[in-house]
Amino acid sequence: MTILATGGAGYIGSHACVSLLESGYDVVAVDDLSNSSAEALRRVEKITGRELKFYEADVCDRAALEKIFREQKIDGVIHFAGMKAVGESVQKPLEYYRNNLDATITILEVMRQFGCKAIVFSSSATVYGSENEYPYREDMPKGTCSNPYGWTKSMSEQILCDAAKADSELSVVLLRYFNPIGAHESGLIGEDPKGIPNNLMPYITQVAVGKRKELTVFGGDYDTPDGTCRRDYIHVMDLAEGHVKAIKYAMEHAGAEVFNLGTGVPYSVLEIIKAFEDASGIKIPYRIGARREGDLPEFWADASKAGNILGWHTRRSLADMCRDSWNWQKNNPKGYEE
Ligand code: NAD
Ligand code: WQD
């Protein structure tokens, strides 16, 4: 079985490629390297001792995608490719809608053309919006997103579900990720953000490695146990393993299905700092700053559906997440650049 991983060179895609290869799938990765490095895929091969095929291409480029489907026999697609910076999406909404929606539509069109019937999509907990109670369950209605990035996920979900409704053989699995952190246990691949990190864990690891002076905690006056926001952090390798279960499910069931991929347990920003300090032995200087616009006080997953239907359970602890994030950062202080 051959899986096409769009955005396969990225943070989550590269870790999923490891899990797929280790589970016996052949992998073809396509990525335009707009937010990643081909070195990640060389390291995936090193970790697994297996080869994968790589195409450097924009998945909105229909001719380039057709070429891949002509040259490879693709049995299923995992669609990771997309732009993901929340703040940037507010500044550049048209670029986000163009890239993320065009990518989803083009992939579906080319899959239809070549008779490929299974797709797993990287969605996000952000589609629950601000209206729902936590823990979020898949049967809740989607909510109002606070930024264009979130809307591209919500709209892509709709497009994928409509495509599945129109083609009774098509299978769509929507995976709503919570907050992925951590890295492969080898320390060879991990998250390599360009510029100043937007997300908490890469910011912490860059403070730990001496690249940034201190962390600003966005808000200390929320109505939460310690006043800082709480999120459902999930180890990226647990998340990666969820994709192996999801693509298998997609190949065996037609129709559209949605699964939360989270642990079901929230941690606050201060708890993350403490857990990181314990795992690394390094003190993280921080100060409490203003709230960040658009942040919700807290949310986490009800992850029971993925457990019951996919047989997927998270296995790694917060300590593992911190240890592996740190192991990656300290072994690769400049990320893939070297
Ligand atoms: P990432 O930026 O590391 O990976 C995305 C990859 O897609 C990058 O390698 C980028 O170069 C590539 N890409 C973007 N547009 C492309 C295009 N038009 N053609 C080809 N390649 C393209 O991000 P990630 O964290 O690995 O996220 C993967 C997916 O999961 C994204 O769709 C993201 O929105 C989604 N997601 C991420 C998180 C998170 O916190 N990291 C949470 C929820 C959902
Ligand atoms: C986590 C917590 C911040 C940085 C984002 C997207 C979401 C999904 C996952 C893609 C929050 C706090 C952060 C910092 C801080 N991505 N924080 N100082 O915002 O939960 O989710 O990534 O789909 O759509 O919105 O993740 O890592 O940015 O923040 O205090 O320098 O850390 O306020 O409480 P978030 P995050």
Q: How would DSSP label each residue in 246-296?
A: HHHHHHH--EEEEEEES-S--EEHHHHHHHHHHHH-----EEEEPPPTT--
Task: Evaluate whether 14 touches 235 at the Cβ level (below 8 Å).
Answer: no
The mean pLDDT value of the chain amounts to 98
pLDDT tens string 259-289: 999 999 999 999 999 999 999 999 999 999 9
Centre of ligand 1 to C-alpha 79, Å, is: 9
Q: What percentage of the chain reaches a pLDDT higher than 90?
A: 99
pLDDT(337) > 90: no
Name the residue with the closest Cα to ligand 1, atom 4: 10
Q: How far is CA 140 from CA 36, 127, 129, 130, 143, in A?
A: 34, 10, 11, 12, 9
User: Nearest Cα to 281, choosing from 229, 232, 316, 330?
Assistant: 330
Tokens of 72: 């490879």
Ligand 2 contact via 217 beta carbon (within 6 Å): yes
Q: Which residues contact 180 (CB under 8 A, 6 or more apart)?
A: 11, 12, 233, 234, 235, 236, 239
Average pLDDT over residues 164-193: 98
- pLDDT given at position 237: 99
Which pTM was predicted? 0.98
Centre of ligand 1 to C-alpha 100, Å, is: 10
Confidence band, pLDDT 50/70/90 cuts, at residue 43: very high
Average pLDDT over residues 320-330: 98
pLDDT(141) > 90: yes
Q: State the closest ligand 2 atom to the C-alpha of 217, by its place in the atom list counted from 1.
A: 30
Of 11, 55, 128, 149, catalytic:
149
Task: Evaluate whether 113 touches 70 at the Cβ level (below 8 Å).
Answer: no
How would you class 267 by CB atoms within 10 Å of its CB: exposed for 0-12, middle for 13-18, buried for 19 or more?
A: buried
Task: Evaluate whether 178 touches 232 at the Cβ level (below 8 Å).
Answer: yes
Ligand 1 contact via 82 beta carbon (within 6 Å): yes
Distance between CA atoms of residues 226 and 116, nearest Å: 49
Distance between CA atoms of residues 172 and 107, nearest Å: 12
> In terms of DSSP bridges, do strands 26-31 and 267-268 run parallel, antiparallel, or are they unpaired?
unpaired
- pLDDT given at position 16: 99
- pLDDT given at position 95: 98
Q: Residue 232 CA: which ligand is closest?
A: 2
Ligand 2 contact via 179 beta carbon (within 6 Å): yes
CA pseudo-torsion sign 125, 154, 102, 166? positive
Ligand 1 contact via 197 beta carbon (within 6 Å): no
Ligand 2 contact via 231 beta carbon (within 6 Å): yes
Q: Which of 4, 12, 98, 104 to mutate to test the pocket of ligand 1 (most atoms within 8 A of CB)?
A: 12
Backbone angles phi, psi at 267, to 5 degrees: -130, 145
pLDDT(338) > 70: no
Q: Residue 219 CA: which ligand is closest?
A: 2
Ligand 2 contact via 83 beta carbon (within 6 Å): no
Confidence band, pLDDT 50/70/90 cuts, at residue 170: very high
Query: Is position 149 annotated as part of the catalytic site?
Result: yes
Average pLDDT over residues 29-50: 98
Q: What one-character DSSP code corresponds to residue 127? A: G
User: Nearest Cα to 197, choosing from 184, 216, 178, 183?
Assistant: 216
Centre of ligand 1 to C-alpha 127, Å, is: 16
